Copies of this chain bind each other. A is one copy, B any other.
Amino acid sequence: MAAYQNLTRDELLQEQKELTAKFDQIKSENLYLDMSRGRPSAAQLDLVKGLMDVLTSNSDMKCESGIDCRNYGVLEGIPEAKRLLSEMMEVPGDQIIIYGNSSLNVMFDTVARSMTHGVMGSTPWCKLDKVKFLCPVPGYDRHFAITEYFGIEMVNIPMTEDGPDMDLVEKYVNNDPAVKGIWCTPKYSNPQGVTYSDETVRRFAHLTPAAADFRIYWDNAYGIHHLYEDKQDYLLEILAECEKAGHPDMVYKFASTSKITFPGSGVAAMAASPANLADVRKQMCIQTIGHDKLNQLRHARFFKDMSGMVAMMKKHADILRPKFEIVLNALETELGDLGICSWICPRGGYFIAFDSLPGCAKAIVAKAKEAGLIMTEAGATYPYGKDPADSNIRIAPSFPAEDELRHAMEIFVLCVKLVTIEKLLAEK
């Protein structure tokens, strides 16, 4: 098939007729398939079901420091969980705090604390007229939702293949004292699967913020979530880079085992400089007596060490890789020659970012919904849900079974074609 832009009006009408017939037939099948979020599949959850057998009524419930994990105490995490997560996050064991089940919750609490108490002694943000966060786009909707909830103004920063546009980041951070943070998913980014280049990470570490309480929110959610054994991205460790650059306190690093073990029943952590952690502790010791140590113990004993976790991630990859390939093949085969869209082939993470012609994304997602296929809301990858170009769609291949996914992609490419033809016809 030739590029759509080269087709005559009649040729487009003919194509539209054929595709519409196909679409109507699919619609009549009353499918329902939810691909809106990056949820692991049941097969992936089965991989770690042994986690449920680690602790039984006969287990020794003491952690390495001799504390009975069934009782109160140990605010910052048991030693073996700290060791495991610090290896996973590539940070020293004394620069990490273990939390409950959700790194999103840790990020929320971090912003909330800055609102009411400032950062290491700075003016509480709620006392300021204006607080801004930089938001590399497309990005993660739940990050943007946190800053929106707190009335923080969000500034779009375009992503490049090396990470956020660092010229813009430097311009804002180094000059505007209202800029207090930037949301980053630096490895296999959500939704593009982009990994920040060494130069990008170093430029982050060398920022000279106008605001002393500026922090990089480094959500390394997909740090070990590779799709291939032989094609992996590498990310410079930001805490060490910031320290080398003389800015040890400039970054908060977040991660969790949500997409390693069970989402919702995993273990989250935050890593930061000793001074930042001291600041965090002041809140934490008031907020809770401690997080779920039994779940920490369960995780630490299940994986034993980092090599156990890496081995598990290979099994996840074996399930995820074919799904990503189904999506990428469908896009390439059905849309590759049409000149109406683009996408990035990621080496890890949970998403494929798809870009339609400008002004088509909302209509494509709506059309897919008509046929029973629920995609992530168009616009969700931008602050305030507003994609200025209306072109970005996040594809989440992890949850459906392979057959379902093939069918879903059939519907998706059909919707892309139909919506695009409609747009082209309107312009002719």
Which residues of A are in contact with B by a Cβ distance under 8 Å? 37, 39-40, 42, 45, 49-53, 55-57, 59, 61, 68-73, 100-102, 104-105, 108-109, 112, 115-116, 124, 126-127, 142, 145-146, 149-150, 258, 262-265, 282-283, 286-295
Q: How many copies does the complex hold?
A: 2
Chain B nearest CB from A194 CB (Å) reads: 23
Chain B residues whose C-beta falls within 8 Å of the C-beta of A50 in the assembled complex: 57
Residue of A37, A59, A102, A265 ringed by the most chain B CB atoms within 10 A? A265
A116 with B108: CB separation less than 8 A: no
Chain B nearest CB from A111 CB (Å) reads: 10
Q: A52-B59, A105-B287, A116-B126 are in contact. Are A39 and B71 (CB under 8 A)?
A: yes
Chain B residues whose C-beta falls within 8 Å of the C-beta of A69 in the assembled complex: 264-265
- The CA-CA distance from A27 to B60 in the complex, in Å, is 34
B265 with A101: CB separation less than 8 A: no
Q: A70-B265, A262-B70, A262-B71 are in contact. Are A286 and B102 (CB under 8 A)?
A: no
A45 with B68: CB separation less than 8 A: yes
Chain B nearest CB from A276 CB (Å) reads: 18
Chain B nearest CB from A90 CB (Å) reads: 25
B263 with A292: CB separation less than 8 A: no
A288 with B112: CB separation less than 8 A: no
A290, closest chain B residue (CB):
B264
B108 with A286: CB separation less than 8 A: yes
Chain B nearest CB from A127 CB (Å) reads: 8
Chain B residues whose C-beta falls within 8 Å of the C-beta of A42 in the assembled complex: 68, 71
Chain B residues whose C-beta falls within 8 Å of the C-beta of A286 in the assembled complex: 108, 142, 145-146, 149
Chain B residues whose C-beta falls within 8 Å of the C-beta of A289 in the assembled complex: 102, 104, 142, 263-264
Partner of A56, one of B52, B146, B288, B290: B52
A148, closest chain B residue (CB):
B286
Chain B residues whose C-beta falls within 8 Å of the C-beta of A124 in the assembled complex: 126
- The CA-CA distance from A102 to B169 in the complex, in Å, is 39
Partner of A45, one of B70, B149, B287: B70
- The CA-CA distance from A265 to B108 in the complex, in Å, is 22
Residue of A37, A73, A112, A287 ringed by the most chain B CB atoms within 10 A? A287
Chain B residues whose C-beta falls within 8 Å of the C-beta of A264 in the assembled complex: 69-73, 289-294
Chain B nearest CB from A24 CB (Å) reads: 31
- The CA-CA distance from A40 to B289 in the complex, in Å, is 14
